[in-house]
Chain A
């Protein structure tokens, strides 16, 4: 009780004595939280967009022959050997014909002279709705091409590849900005705490002489790290939220945002980011203490 009272008072003194540096550090931390969470937010939303895209995404395997029920079962087994899929659908020649006729609509007269089995039978494979399966789609199509009786495999190749590379790129940016966050949080906080320690060297020395325990001397610095992490991340997330709202207001209805619903972080991720930056800042503070606080 009295210990914490003393520790809080001590922390208050620290902050008052070096508040400009503390403030700048807090801003730096919040800026890096902002940058990191900005890209991370886009990344998460892209993953959701991936879900939407793969709704229409099917791999179509054209077959030489129409498979009988036994063969269908075998093909099904082979396909699921590669990966779990959402759906496998066999299209017979007749079905293909009637579908095509439907698509032609009023122009179906052109089909009158055609035999009803001129279109090949096919299998429509709908992969799982995850970015992982999206990223494997090329491999998957190659695998499908090796199925017995397979003639040709089709899917929205270009589109899928572009989307895939874009999310790859984004994940690299997320990693880089996460790295930036780690650097700034630990190193900036470490150097700030170092400054505080130097600014109060005389006092720390005296505290030791009059019998302050290690905890009495150290806890305020740890607390400072925690505080910097907390304030920095909250400030960063708050600015991201403001930015997010602003973008929604100014760009909604502009087409591209309608492609997918743009959502903010769920509470768990917000908590994780806050806790993570607290841990990083505390670690920064701790390393400085280990190095510069001789007690």
Chain B
């Protein structure tokens, strides 16, 4: 019994690699991209503004699953250029997740930016700080404090969303779990092991963000 459980865990740990990598890559790339979008959608250039607004609208308004299929299958069917856009499954998954999450982060950061009092910009300007110094040293830290709870929510949602990549045949945790359940005559242990894994990650993230929120309490 114990041995069976151990074997299950070993088999599943191979899938954890994909799940965790996708999570880490998405977080690392989507946040800066989201921030860039925030500045573009608040910026002076009307073309950039329109593009970012449209991008956010599309990415938030369609299912992540659809986007995943689009970037893995759909994009290759585009006449002429499609053949150059063929991606590995996992690459396609990363592209989809980064683009999708960047759109959510863009909106979250935009809200955070609006919450920074205009007096902060005025004080900075009168003290002679440049726009860049004002943004980096005054505005962003205050913005991060405001958005932290929403970012925490997104991160936890992301952990669970990673399971979607099963749909394009990536051997992630969810995929392996499912095949183990199908294979070993109706046992449910793999489900429980997977659930415990997801719970551990989300628990860890909750703790991390609680810590950050305390640190950013001013």
> Are A and B interaction partners?
no
Name B's A-contacting residues (CB within 8 A).
Answer: none
